[in-house]
Amino acid sequence: MQASITGGDELSRIERVAHNRSGLWVAIVITIIGLLVFTGIFNFVIPGLGDNLSGTPLILLGMVLSLVPAAIWLFFFYRLDRLDPEPKQMVVRIFLMGALVAAALRDPLINGVFDVRAWQYNTWWGHLFGGILIVGVIEQFLIYATVRYVIFEHPEFDERVDGVIYAVAAGLGLATVLNFQYVIRSNGVDLDIGSVRMVINALGYASFAGVMGYFIGQTRFEKTPIYYMPGGLALAAVLNGLFWFLIDRTIGGGLRPNPWGDLIFAAIVAALTLALAFWLIERANEETLRVAHQKIREAIGMTPAPVPATVAPAAVATGASAAALGQESPAAPAATTSDAPAPAQSDNDGAESGTESGPTATPKENAE
Amino acid sequence: MTALLARLAKPSVTNEPPTREELLRTEIAVIVAVLFALFLGIGIRNNAVNNQRTVRLGDGLPSIAVPAGWITGQPEGTLLYARSPRTRSLFNTELTVTTRELTGEATLATVRTGLALQRTQDLLRYRELEARSVTVNGQPGILVTYAYVADPTRDQGAIAPPVVVEAQDLLFTAGNSVVIVTVAADATLWDEESVYAGLIHRSLNVRQVQGGGE
């Protein structure tokens, strides 16, 4: 009995982990459009806002503005993922922790210990490789550490996609801290061009964190090779370094700064990387479910129930598998109407065969 | 590519979650990877800091190394002027090379005294901090460290506060003239910016003389 319930719990866990959220695709698109609209408002609708301000009021306005890209992102993600959203307080908690960790450690490490500003822009290779090996690695490690030590083992982290959602929240925390620092260092900013810069930060860090979050999600729910998570961090760091290298080089190469080009570039990068992350998650979810069902079929095949001559063993296995998943199957009626009890209907059978069936198995539309 | 994506999407053939030991192993692997990347980053940093290009100062004068990312020029009255465009201060770290003809009974010591007098007139709150005897390419030289107050944003009409600057004049004879190599940086950043002074001085083979302090 216990084994059967455990098997059911296991299947329930796997289905939870492999849950696809179609709303997230829409959320990415709407969020990016929302961020572009945000910059459009400050550049075309109210371009003069802040012209008459200086000193502390301008800094305060800039700091409030710094929060807006993250707020837009989190709001749309929450609203559009409303069928099964993460708890608001957890997402906000990760965002704040990401910001605190970045504020406490990013600058002291990057500009204190490694003094990157003094040498990174001396050469193109120092710019690129310093941006990857030091800036990218430290920033992505801070995001990883935030998710790993704040939410990773929390019961709310129960789906593969949660890795992306929480890592993006931590990345936005980091981006917001950079925006704050930008405003304070510049003694307030032009709100039009400043808003573009803030959105570029948010898009950039959210997308690299999304890549990072994909690997965190996998590591949480899968047995991964030893290089898997370090490889994910390295990939995110490379994207991070490459992104800022390409954006900065439009200035460093002697060209005029082109904030609108940078903004479009950042929007495309964010859309592509997050779309890739979600696509990979969907593939991973499909694979997870396929393996789960294959395992059930194999387990049943190893301990075949007494089957009447009129029912083919394969049909019993398929029917039992579907029954274990709570699904209807063309073969299921044949099995259940037979003299032999189907594994899903018998606790003892489930216990003996070790199948992952049980009362907690839930229907799943996208199951096999 | 398909295999890579498949491996990326499903790294395990089972659906089993990792054990505590496996998570710990992953964590250690991440930390090792981060430390390794930072170690490589330090190598990049050292190369970038020491990356230089050599500038010829003229006939009978030595060549001098300039950090690769610095902007160079030759304003009137100088042999070379170079400036770091990325200094974390309103006062960009800079290098200036000038010469003084050795006429009459002038010596390196008299030129150094005259230069100090000129600095007191040209620079605000000039204060000499240290002077040491050195050798430059085997020839005697003097390294003078001093400080003053600069107002780098004043010309642009900005209202940023003035900056305390720390600088070093390296004086040495070359042919019939004294070459003066001046490196100046924001005093609060002197420790980190002095790597560039070290790079410039190394290219001139500057050596301290034992007990050479004045």
Nearest C-alpha of chain B: how many angstroms from A287?
7
Kindly provide the b/e burial profile for residues A327-354, where b requires at least 16 CB atoms within 10 angstroms of the residue's own CB. Answer: bebebbebbbebebbbbbebbebbbebb
The pLDDT of residue A83 is 59
pLDDT, greater one: B35 or B138: B35
* Residue entry with tokens 């190598």: B43
Per-residue pLDDT for A338 more than 70?
A: no
pLDDT, greater one: A170 or B105: A170
Q: Are A16 and A297 in contact (CB under 8 A)?
A: no
**Which residues 231-250 of A are in CB contact (within 8 Å) with B?**
233-234, 237
pLDDT, greater one: A40 or B136: B136
Per-residue pLDDT for B21 more than 80?
A: yes
Q: Which residues are within 8 A (CB) of A218 and not within 5 positions of it... i.e. 6 or more apart?
A: A160, A163, A224, A228, A232, A284, B11
The pLDDT of residue B154 is 66
Q: What is the mean pLDDT of residues B3-31?
A: 84
The pLDDT of residue A270 is 86
Per-residue pLDDT for A362 more than 50?
A: no
**Which residues 295-324 of A are in CB contact (within 8 Å) with B?**
295
The pLDDT of residue A331 is 37
pTM to 2 decimals? Answer: 0.69
Helices (H) and strands (E) in chain B, counts: 4, 10
Q: What is the mean pLDDT of residues A325-341?
A: 37
pLDDT, greater one: A270 or B27: B27
DSSP state of B160: P
The pLDDT of residue B208 is 85
Phi, psi of A243 (to 5 degrees): -60, -50
Chain B residues close to A233, C-beta within 8 Å: 30, 33-34
The pLDDT of residue A238 is 95
Which of the residues B1, B2, B7, B8 would you substitute to probe the A interface, choosing the one with the greatest number of A C-beta atoms within 10 Å? B8
Q: How far apart are CA B14 and CA B214, in angstroms?
A: 76
Per-residue pLDDT for A127 more than 70?
A: yes
Question: pLDDT category, A181, cuts 50, 70, 90?
Answer: confident
pLDDT, greater one: A128 or B6: A128
Per-residue pLDDT for A301 more than 80?
A: no
Chain B residues close to A292, C-beta within 8 Å: 15
Contact flag B33-A230 (C-beta cutoff 8 Å)? yes
For all residues of chain A together, what is the average pLDDT? 74
The pLDDT of residue A345 is 37
Q: Which residues are within 8 A (CB) of B51 and not within 5 positions of it... i.e. 6 or more apart?
A: A122, A123, A126, B67, B68, B69
| Of residues A71, A63, A149, A68, the one with CA closest to residue A105 | A149
Q: What is the mean pLDDT of residues B202-212?
A: 83
Nearest C-alpha of chain A: how many angstroms from B161?
13
The pLDDT of residue A305 is 45
Which of the residues A222, A287, A289 would you substitute to probe the B interface, choosing the one with the greatest number of B C-beta atoms within 10 Å? A222
Contact flag B26-A229 (C-beta cutoff 8 Å)? yes
When CB atoms are compared, the residue of B11, B47, B49 closest to A228 is: B11
Per-residue pLDDT for A354 more than 70?
A: no
When CB atoms are compared, the residue of A117, A133, A221 closest to B44 is: A133
Chain A residues close to B21, C-beta within 8 Å: none
The pLDDT of residue B67 is 87
Per cent of chain B over pLDDT 90 is 50
**Whether A16 contacts chain B with CB within 8 A:** no
Q: What is the pLDDT of residues A41-88, one digit of tens each?
A: 877 777 666 666 667 777 788 888 888 888 888 877 666 555 566 677
Chain B residues close to A147, C-beta within 8 Å: none
> Which token pair is B4?
């890579």
Contact flag B51-A283 (C-beta cutoff 8 Å)? no
When CB atoms are compared, the residue of B25, B42, B88 closest to A118 is: B88
Q: How many residues does chain A have?
A: 368
Distances (CA, A) of B22 to A143, B17, B44, B191: 21, 10, 33, 44
Nearest C-alpha of chain B: how many angstroms from A337?
32
Q: What is the pLDDT of residues A200-226, one digit of tens each?
A: 989 999 999 999 999 999 998 888 899
The pLDDT of residue A343 is 38
**Which residues 87-146 of A are in CB contact (within 8 Å) with B?**
111, 114-123, 125-126, 129-130, 133-134, 137-138, 141, 144
Q: How far apart are CA A278 and CA A272, in angstroms?
A: 10
Q: What is the pLDDT of residues B156-200, one digit of tens each?
A: 555 678 899 999 999 999 888 999 999 999 999 888 888 888 889
Distances (CA, A) of A162 to A24, A87, B103: 11, 11, 79
pLDDT, greater one: A98 or B59: A98
| Nearest-5° Cα angle at A106, A100 to A112 | 135
The pLDDT of residue A359 is 33
Q: What is the pLDDT of residues A15-33, one digit of tens each?
A: 766 676 666 777 778 888 8
Per-residue pLDDT for A253 more than 60?
A: no
Contact flag A115-B14 (C-beta cutoff 8 Å)? no
Give the range among A52-56, A97-101, B201-205 with minimum mean pLDDT. Answer: A52-56
Per cent of chain A over pLDDT 90 is 24
pLDDT, greater one: B41 or B209: B41
Question: pLDDT category, A7, cuts 50, 70, 90?
Answer: low
Give the range among A31-45, A250-264, B49-63, B76-90 with minimum mean pLDDT. Answer: A250-264
Chain B residues close to A114, C-beta within 8 Å: 38, 41-42, 45
Chain B residues close to A125, C-beta within 8 Å: 44, 48
Chain A residues close to B15, C-beta within 8 Å: 14, 17, 222, 288, 291-292, 295
Contact flag B41-A133 (C-beta cutoff 8 Å)? yes
Chain A residues close to B53, C-beta within 8 Å: none
Q: Which amino acid is at A260?
A: W
Count Cβ–Cβ pairs < 8 Å, chain A vs chain B.
140
Contact flag B11-A287 (C-beta cutoff 8 Å)? no
Which residues in B have their CB inside 8 Å of a CB on A?
Answer: 5-6, 8-18, 22-23, 25-27, 29-30, 32-34, 37-38, 40-42, 44-45, 47-49, 51, 67-70, 85-88, 192-193, 195
> Which token pair is A173?
């925390």
Q: What is the pLDDT of residues B84-131, one digit of tens each?
A: 877 778 888 999 999 998 888 888 999 999 999 999 999 999 999 999
Q: Are A18 and A293 in contact (CB under 8 A)?
A: no
| Of residues A368, A8, A21, the one with CA closest to residue A163 | A21
Nearest C-alpha of chain B: how many angstroms from A351?
19
pLDDT, greater one: B92 or A122: B92
Chain A residues close to B153, C-beta within 8 Å: none
Q: Which amino acid is at A16?
A: R
> Which token pair is A256?
């005029």
Give the range among A253-262, A349-358, B37-46, B198-207 with minimum mean pLDDT. Answer: A349-358
pLDDT, greater one: B161 or A246: A246
When CB atoms are compared, the residue of A119, A133, A283 closest to B49 is: A119
Q: What is the mean pLDDT of residues A114-140?
A: 89
Q: How far apart are CA B160 and CA A337, in angstroms?
A: 88
